[in-house]
Amino acid sequence: MSLGKLFTTTGGTKFRTFGTLEKVIVDDWGVHIYNQDGWSVGMKKVYMYWAHIAQKAERAIGKSVVIETGSSSSSSDYFRDLYVDNPTILDFPEDAGPEAQSALVWARAHREEIGYQLYLAKEQNNELNVKWEELTASQKGEAETASLALDAVWDDFKADPNRRFMLVGAAYLNRDKPEKPDKAFALRLGLDTTKHKRINVKVLERTYRNNLLVELPDFGDTKCQIAVKQGNAQNTKNEWCIVTVSNTLKGWEPLEDELYSDWRSTRRDITYYMDAHNTLMGRLFAEVA
């Protein structure tokens, strides 16, 4: 079977025309995608963002895609990202040199990724609007106060998106059991934050009131949405604190409500919430095929 067009950037990243994406399978090993000829490439679950890519692939079924592979891996066996090939990502003007070709490919891939992120942001905005209506008057007041405080510093955040936010969890409070922020990180992202008093973030955008879409540099650049507020206790005054976190996976919230609706009020070891994350991920991708 002949493989699609291969392009290697000046930095060594490989982009290959994959064809029409016909099927996505998630198993214990990782994510497998298949084209119209039955050709398959895979992505191991060692990557923190595998679930994001799996859902991105699922949405691209029936469309022509280009796969991205790192410089040290075979593009005929593995992939680490994929992009809808519209317009064609690997077509270049005849007079374009290697640098220009690489810049074009990255720009086109980035455009496709931004489009997918915009789609996710719209979905999340709808969900947050529903959640907002469910808040108590006190909770709405707290969120509005945090939103106004964020308004005042938003230009600074945009100018310098690399931030270090406080996490008032088990480490900060010197508790044996995880606190609510720790439980949210474990349940929704599979991350143990019980030893962290602060977390580095890269702010990507402001999504809704006091909610931010961020990457976590210390956790494989995991993308997530966090709600923040300024602390008012003696040791947190004027510090930006993470109130809670949510992932960017479609279909997560109904499953969480079905299987672990009481997680906020439970007092268990962190392993319970990490195991719950694995259970939810298994259910979420059980029917991806």
Q: Of all residues in the chain, what percent carry a pLDDT higher than 90? A: 69
Look at 28-42, 60-74, 75-89, 139-153 and tell me which has the smallest mean pLDDT.
Answer: 139-153
pLDDT band, very low/low/confident/very high, at 138 (cuts 50, 70, 90) = low
Per-residue model confidence (pLDDT) at position 199: 96
User: Contact at 8 Å (CB) between 186 and 180?
Assistant: no
What is the assigned CATH class of domain 6-116?
mainly beta
Which pLDDT score, from 0 to 100, does residue 234 have?
63
Residue 73 has pLDDT above 70, yes or no: yes
H or E segment to which residue 158 belongs: helix 137-159
Query: Over the stretch 211-222, which tens digit does the pLDDT of each residue have?
Result: 898 999 999 889
Question: Which of the four pLDDT bands, split at 50, 70 and 90, describes residue 231?
Answer: confident
| Cβ neighbour number for residue 131 with a 10 Å cutoff | 14
Residue closest to 113 by CA, chosen among 68, 83, 91, 79? 83
CA distance 79 to 120: 22
pLDDT band at 128 (very low <50, low <70, confident <90, very high): low
CA-to-CA dists, residue 25 to 4, 70, 80, 205, 281, angstroms? 21, 21, 15, 31, 14
Report the SS3 class of residue 184.
helix
Q: Which of these, 78, 57, 62, lies nearest to 3 by C-alpha position?
A: 78
Mean pLDDT of the chain: 89
CA distance 113 to 99: 21
**C-alpha closest to that of 38 among 22, 56, 60, 15:** 22
pTM: 0.81
Name the band, by pLDDT with cuts 50, 70 and 90, for residue 132. Answer: low
Condensed to tens digits (0 to 9), the pLDDT of residues 189-212 reads 999 999 999 999 999 988 888 989
Mean pLDDT, range 252-266, rounded to an integer: 93
Q: What is the pLDDT of residue 240?
A: 94
- Rounded to 5 degrees, φ, ψ at 185 are -65, -40
Task: Render pLDDT for 92-110 as a digit per residue (tens, 0 to 9).
Answer: 887 889 999 999 999 999 9
Distance, first Cα to last Cα, the chain: 23
Structural domain spans, the chain = 6-116, 136-284
pLDDT at 289: 47
